[in-house]
Amino acid sequence: MKKKHFSSIREYHDYFGMPAPEHPLISVSSVDSDASCVDEEIELSTDFYAISLKHIIEGEIHYGRTQYDFKGGSLLCMSPRQIVRIAKLNIKSDARTILIHEDFLRGTSIQKTIESANYFTYAVNEALHLSPREEGLVKGLLDALEQEYSQNHDAFSKDIMVSQLATLLSYTDRFYQRQFQQRMESPMSSLEDRFFSCLKALATDHIPSVEEIADKLHVTPRYLSDGLKVETGKTALENIHAYQIERAKNMLLGSDDSVATIAYALGFEYPQYFARLFKKKVGKTPTQFRNQVH
């Protein structure tokens, strides 16, 4: 398998036989033929962001250990230096891709927005699956961006493209919220249910980390926290702490064990940290809580 890192957008275009980009730090492209094919297996990374609207006919895309699942029109967002493996990919002609070098974003109004957008580090199986209406809206935004990109660049070009990108990112946020909501309403795929089942299984002898639970659920830590924030109002770490605090309350009131013994039983390495966390969440120390209730 070939491994390739692209430091420039021109280098990326040249490698895949695409026309030279109109701008050295941003490109907007669409597939003109019936389908676009990548016949080889390649592991690639870049120094730029990529936003791709794709209909995959066949082939594989992997981010790490996770594989893309080919559901309809999907928006894939990839961050700089994220490793992606592509194997014999065949894409329908309505595919569109934006490549945005980090240097293009420096000093712009959307630099912090795109850097803090968690979905750029989601795994491929967490891609945004669009409804037909949403896909049509995204295509319209991408068409407008491509039209501006293809014109002769002047003093207004960058500001206009940045504004168009900001609109695209806002809609991406909205559509991800919709996807989280839909998955929350489906008992078979509730992230909350799967999270707490995993948490209870792991918390018998230690305090599981967000990364450990995410790995068990085959999602990225950021996707897990974002999804739980929508479903429960708390991040993954906040939910872990809340679960441990409820266990602690039961143990404080249901036994005469010392606070240190309870802390160790819950998986805390240091009883002092347990006591500080308990007071932060409950407003009382473990001893004060026990004495007040008794």
Q: With CA atoms as reference, report the closest residue to 76 among 239, 38, 67, 149.
A: 67
Three-state DSSP at 87 gives: strand
Residue 133 and residue 221 share a domain: no
Alpha carbons within 13 angstroms on the beta-carbon side of residue 189 total 12
Domain stops at, among 152, 185, 218:
185
Residue 208 and residue 172 share a domain: no
Residue 203 and residue 111 share a domain: no
What are the pLDDT digits (tens) for 136-163?
A: 899 899 999 999 998 888 889 999 999 9
**Mean per-residue pLDDT, 211-215:** 93
Q: With CA atoms as reference, report the closest residue to 294 among 261, 266, 255, 265.
A: 255
Q: How far out from the chain centre does Cα 293 lie?
A: 43
Domain stops at, among 125, 151, 185:
185
Residue 198 and residue 274 share a domain: yes
Q: What is the pLDDT of residue 236?
A: 93
Residue 243 and residue 160 share a domain: no
Residue 120 and residue 86 share a domain: yes
Q: List all residues 6 or more positions away from 160 whose beta carbon is below 8 Å from its beta carbon.
A: 148
Domain region containing 228? 189-293
Tokens 């918390």 belong to 203
Residue 226 and residue 175 share a domain: no
Confidence tier at 35 by pLDDT (50, 70, 90): very low
- Total domain count, the chain: 2
What are the pLDDT digits (tens) for 43-102?
A: 888 999 999 887 665 666 765 545 555 545 678 888 888 888 777 666 665 678 899 999
Q: Is the pLDDT of residue 186 over 60?
A: no
* Structure tokens belonging to residue 43: 């592991």
Neighbours of 179 (CB within 10 A): 19
Lowest mean pLDDT of 56-70, 191-205, 212-226, name the range.
Answer: 56-70
Domain stops at, among 185, 200, 217:
185
**Mean per-residue pLDDT, 33-51:** 75
What are the pLDDT digits (tens) for 101-137?
A: 999 999 898 998 898 887 876 755 567 888 888 888 9
Q: What is the pLDDT of residue 115?
A: 85
- This prediction's pTM: 0.63
Residue 225 and residue 165 share a domain: no
